[in-house]
Amino acid sequence: MAKITMGRSAFKIQRRLGVELPGLGKAGALERKPYGPGVHGMKRKKLSDYTIRLMEKQKVMFHYGIREKQLVNLVKKCKKDRSRAWVDTLIIKLETRLDNIIFRLNWAPSILAARQMVTHGHVKLNGVKATSPGQIVSVGSQITLSEKAFKSGNFLQAKARPRLSAIPAYLTTEAKGEGELAKIVSEPLPEDIPFPFEKRLVTEYYWKVK
């Protein structure tokens, strides 16, 4: 269900959910057809409360490219943290995943492309090669790419046509040789999520998860 797809499928996902999800890397899904896919897409449907909550959860899954089991496990961990509302902890962990940070730095055109950069060994975290896309990056950490990655088609595409116009405030960048050096300077805030998101609906969807 949460498998990341590209091209037309990415458009259908966004049209069905009624929102642009930058992590899918495909802009303009709602420009020409701002309604759901299929022959009945233009018909107005009355959605149940459950469906509304489900769709809000699916926004998270598809944007960040994670599966339901991964998300449930993450929710369980976040609920053990009593320092803040668990959904706020969830946002912090999702936004500080290494693949998401590469995407948010405009170093990759999508989260899938960012994930490939990581798994192919083109990302350095605090000077050490990192190969786990889901790794949580802590405040103060420095991130850069290999020389090859800074010359890659994915990086050049992301710089020429950034999916998001600006990097979030919790990240900073500076020039380093022919590339860039980034640093995470603070924890993300709920408003850093780059699509319309209603925390309450996700909280209600996962209220039974312990």
pLDDT in tens, 88-145: 999 999 999 999 999 999 999 999 999 999 999 999 999 999 999 999 999 999 999 9
| Percent of residues, the chain, with pLDDT higher than 70 | 90
Quote the CA–CA distance of 65 and 68 in Å, as a whole number: 10
Tokens found for residue 85 = 């509302």
Q: Which amino acid is at 184?
A: I
State yes or no: pLDDT of 41 exceeds 50. Answer: no
The number of residues making up the chain comes to 210
Q: How far apart, in Å, are the Cα atoms of 133 and each of 16, 35, 136, 185?
A: 27, 33, 9, 20
pLDDT at 35: 59
pLDDT at 33: 61
The fold for domain 8-90+195-205 equals Ribosomal Protein S4 Delta 41; Chain A, domain 1 (1.10.1050)
Q: Which residue has the tokens 């969830």?
A: 90
The structural domains of the chain, with segments of one domain joined by +, span 8-90+195-205, 97-184
The CATH number of domain 97-184 is 3.10.290.10: yes
State yes or no: pLDDT of 209 exceeds 60. Answer: yes
Q: How far apart, in Å, are the Cα atoms of 13 and each of 7, 29, 92?
A: 10, 9, 24
Nearest to 185 by CA among 174, 197, 199: 174
Stretch 11-30: mean pLDDT: 88
At 186, the pLDDT band (50, 70, 90 cuts) reads: very high
pLDDT at 10: 85
3-state secondary structure of 180: strand
The separation between CA 47 and the C-alpha centre of its own chain, rounded to angstroms, equals 26
pLDDT at 39: 42
Helices (H), the chain: 8-17, 49-64, 68-79, 86-95, 98-104, 111-119, 147-150, 153-160, 199-205
User: Whole-model pTM?
Assistant: 0.88
Tokens found for residue 171 = 């990240």
